């Protein structure tokens, strides 16, 4: 399980801190695919980086923490912010945004696999034995073991993405974090990557966290999802409920703007833009774009709270209490 415990982070700038994550508090369960959605700049990638413990100056944690806990090889473990990075690859791995460009184009893939697998996992194996294991794993994922002889520049973007996912999952980590795993790929390749992620999650019985601005990705693969807006989590619940019965005005507009088979109505999108994080409005940050905004919304921040079992939202229309 991953517990995100009232986490707030900011970027340090010469004009003062820019708050990018504001008091985000929720849990990601074992053995689920959890999605994080929202427009560009809403903080979803920063949140994923925090989950992978790659918070480095000028990004700082202002308050709160992350706790990664579970069981690996029959042993319980629990790590907090600052300790999670000791478990990279083994317990938690990360597929970064634009992962296709992460591989060094002029180094054969076999060397990149050998460099990434910690010595502790290679035990007393020779390089050839480790590569045999990697080759067998690639075959298991319906990829050719001959790929190990190839250079990344010889592969398509989709194939490089598959190789990165294979690399990230080779050590059967309990948690896999993927940032925009289908961006910049054509729709057919996107589908193949999503199918691969779903298959891997079933096979490894682990937790996957997928960040994507594409609501279609969440609809296809995630079990539960959270919607972020301007650095805050504003709605969270089962994906099916979010799509069928969104409750926060922003989510309603987001879901309402999606094209659906057979629906010929004009789609309008959400008017306006998210506020600049350097100068956000007081109260609810969605108020300048919200058709339901009242004076109260413009003054008081709505609290993120459970409004139905397992369903959370931050909106004065749903909450009786405000902070």
Of the candidate spans 103-111, 130-138, 161-169, 311-319, the one that interacts with ligand SF4 by CB under 6 A turns out to be: 311-319
Give the residue, chosen from 92, 197, 225, 297, that forms a contact with ligand SF4 under the rule CB under 6 A.
Answer: 297
Which parts of 211-270 interact with ligand SF4 (CB under 6 A)?
A: 249
Shortest distance (Å) from residue 311 CB to ligand SF4: 15
User: Which of 314, 321, 310 lies closest to 27, judged by CA?
Assistant: 310
Q: Which stretch binds ligand SF4 (CB under 6 A): 78-86, 116-124, 263-271, 313-321?
A: 313-321
The 3-state DSSP class for residue 8 equals strand
Q: Does 287 bind ligand SF4 (CB under 6 A)?
A: yes
Interaction of residue 290 with ligand SF4, rule CB under 6 A: yes
Distance CA 236, CA 231 (A): 14
User: Which 185-214 residues touch ligand SF4, going by CB under 6 A?
Assistant: none
* Dihedral over alpha carbons 252, 257, 263, 264 (to 10 degrees): 140
Give per-residue burial for 18-41: e unless 16+ CB within 10 Å, then b.
Answer: bbbbbbbebebeeebbbbbbbbeb
> In angstroms, what is the minimal distance from the CB of 281 to ligand SF4?
10
Q: In angstroms, what is the minimal distance from the CB of 19 to ligand SF4? A: 18
DSSP calls for 143-182: --GGGGGS-GGGS-HHHHHHHHHHHHHTT--SEEEEESTT
What's the closest the beta carbon of residue 321 comes to ligand SF4, in angstroms?
A: 12
304 binding ligand SF4? (CB under 6 A)? no
**Nearer CB in complex with ligand SF4: 71/294:** 294
- From 50-58, 200-208, 264-272, 280-288, give the range in contact with ligand SF4 by CB under 6 A: 280-288
Asked whether 96 and 176 are in contact (CB, 8 A), the reply is no
Rg, Å, the chain Cα set: 21
- Which residues 6+ apart lie within 8 Å of 75 measured at CB? none
Q: Select the residue interacting with ligand SF4 from 59, 293, 303, 305 (CB under 6 A).
A: 293
Nearer to ligand SF4, 221 or 297 (CB): 297
- Look at residue 190 and give its three-state secondary structure: helix
Q: Which residue in 317, 320, 321, 323 binds ligand SF4 (CB under 6 A)? A: 317
**Nearest alpha carbon to residue 232 among 36, 94, 13:** 36
Residues of the shown chain interacting with ligand SF4 in the complex, contacts defined by CB under 6 A: 249, 284, 286-287, 290, 292-293, 297, 302, 315-317
């Amino acid at each position: 399980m991953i517990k995100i415990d009232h986490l707030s982070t900011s970027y340090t700038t010469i004009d003062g801190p820019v708050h990018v994550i504001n008091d985000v508090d929720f849990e990601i369960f074992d053995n689920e695919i959890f999605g994080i959605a929202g427009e560009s700049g809403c903080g979803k990638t920063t949140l994923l980086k925090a989950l992978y413990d790659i918070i480095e100056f000028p990004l700082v944690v202002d308050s709160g923490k992350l706790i990664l806990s579970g069981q690996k090889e029959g042993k319980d473990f629990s790590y907090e912010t600052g300790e999670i990075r000791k478990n990279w690859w083994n317990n938690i791995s990360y597929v970064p945004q634009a992962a296709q460009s992460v591989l060094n184009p002029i180094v054969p893939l076999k060397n990149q696999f050998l460099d990434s697998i910690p010595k502790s996992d290679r035990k007393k194996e020779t390089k050839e034995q480790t590569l045999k294991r990697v080759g067998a794993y690639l075959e298991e994922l319906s990829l050719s073991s001959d790929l190990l002889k190839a250079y990344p520049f010889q592969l398509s973007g989709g194939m490089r993405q598959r190789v990165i996912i294979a690399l990230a999952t080779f050590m059967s980590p309990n948690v896999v974090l993927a940032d925009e795993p289908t961006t910049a790929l054509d729709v057919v390749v996107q589908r193949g990557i999503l199918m691969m992620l779903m298959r891997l999650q079933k096979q490894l019985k682990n937790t996957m966290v997928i960040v994507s601005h594409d609501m279609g990705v969440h609809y296809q693969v995630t079990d539960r999802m959270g919607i972020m807006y301007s650095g805050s989590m504003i709605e969270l619940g089962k994906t099916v409920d979010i799509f069928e019965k969104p409750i926060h005005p922003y989510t309603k507009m987001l879901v309402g703007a999606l094209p659906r088979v057979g629906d010929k109505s004009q789609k309008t999108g959400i008017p306006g833009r998210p506020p600049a994080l350097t100068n956000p409005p007081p109260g609810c940050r969605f108020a300048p774009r919200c058709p339901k905004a009242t004076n109260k919304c413009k003054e008081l921040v709505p609290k993120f709270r459970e409004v139905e079992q397992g369903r959370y939202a931050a909106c004065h229309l749903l909450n009786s209490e405000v902070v």
